[in-house]
């Protein structure tokens, strides 16, 4: 069965080009030229991935991304003519899985699409997807986190970052390594997105050291999920 990809872009020329290459590679494509129309369409279909432009009529891409993340974990790749680092960071913080600037090579876009879909595929070893620590459960299969007996709402990338660090407990990772391992694309020159996600994780998992674990900063190096040895 073909995977369905939604393209949300009001540039008809780019849309035609993207649709041509995606369909040639075996994907099914649906299109929306407005942000508000795309959200309405998502109530009727379940795409495997969304290619989302930022500059849209109706609602801009930032608003659409934020609205999607309130109800869905579908992978999102932001498309934009803006190449500013702050725009890339904002897209990732809102829950986008990747960001590509216009103009782009269709082959590069296809590679990004395949990479994001591959990362979202179920892990064959489901036991590695559910991690349990004192006071903490991280389930990457159902995308659920329970802390101190209470469910915690997290955007996909926050949960994936937490899961990766916890799965590799007591191992220190640089910001560049975390971007590569969790976000899965080349480091684009700014590590702030990792710092922001770590800050939000700490806010949502306060006073975790009482359970014998914490997300620790290793100054001038990076971060680790530290579990006290007993």
Domains contained in the chain, CATH given: 4-120 (3.40.50.2300), 126-227 (1.10.10.10)
Tokens at 186, concatenated: 């080349």
Alpha carbons 183 and 46: distance in angstroms, whole number = 22
How large is the C-alpha radius of gyration of the chain?
18
CB atoms within 10 A of CB 155: 20
**pLDDT at 126 (0 to 100):** 47
Tokens at 153, concatenated: 């709402």
> Over the chain (230 residues), what is each successive 10-residue block's mean pLDDT?
92 92 94 94 92 91 90 88 68 80 87 82 59 94 91 88 95 90 62 86 94 94 88
Tokens at 94, concatenated: 């809102």
* Predicted structure pTM score: 0.66
Alpha carbons 200 and 198: distance in angstroms, whole number = 5
Angle at 84 between CA 80 and CA 87, to 5 degrees: 65
Alpha carbons 119 and 111: distance in angstroms, whole number = 12
Per DSSP, 209 falls in state: G
Residues contacting residue 147 through CB under 8 Å, at least 6 positions apart: 135, 136, 204, 205, 208
Angle at 154 between CA 230 and CA 193, to 5 degrees: 90
* Dihedral sign (CA 52, 57, 58, 61): positive
**pLDDT at 22 (0 to 100):** 94
Q: Which helix (H) or strand (E) holds 151?
A: strand 150-152
Q: Find residue 152's DSSP bridge partners.
A: 145
Tokens at 206, concatenated: 């306060």
């Amino acid at each position: 069965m073909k995977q369905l990809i939604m393209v949300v872009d009001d540039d008809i020329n780019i849309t035609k080009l993207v649709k041509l290459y995606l369909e040639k590679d075996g994907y099914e494509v649906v299109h929306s030229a407005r942000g508000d129309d795309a959200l309405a369409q998502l109530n009727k279909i379940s795409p495997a991935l969304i290619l989302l432009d930022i500059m849209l009529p109706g609602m801009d891409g930032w608003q659409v991304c934020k609205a999607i993340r309130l109800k869905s974990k579908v992978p999102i790749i932001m498309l934009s003519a803006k190449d500013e680092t702050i725009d890339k960071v904002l897209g990732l913080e809102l829950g986008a899985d990747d960001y590509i600037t216009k103009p782009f090579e269709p082959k590069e876009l296809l590679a990004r699409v395949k990479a994001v879909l591959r990362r979202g595929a179920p892990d064959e070893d489901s036991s590695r997807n559910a991690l349990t620590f004192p006071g903490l459960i991280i389930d990457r299969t159902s995308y659920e986190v329970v802390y101190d007996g209470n469910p915690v709402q997290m955007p996909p990338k926050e949960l994936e970052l937490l899961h990766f660090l916890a799965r590799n407990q007591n191992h220190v990772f640089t910001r560049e390594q975390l971007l590569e391992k969790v976000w899965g694309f080349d480091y684009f020159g700014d590590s702030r997105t990792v710092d922001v996600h770590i800050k939000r994780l700490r806010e949502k998992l306060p006073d975790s050291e009482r359970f014998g674990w914490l997300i620790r900063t290793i100054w001038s190096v990076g971060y680790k999920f530290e579990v006290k040895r007993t």
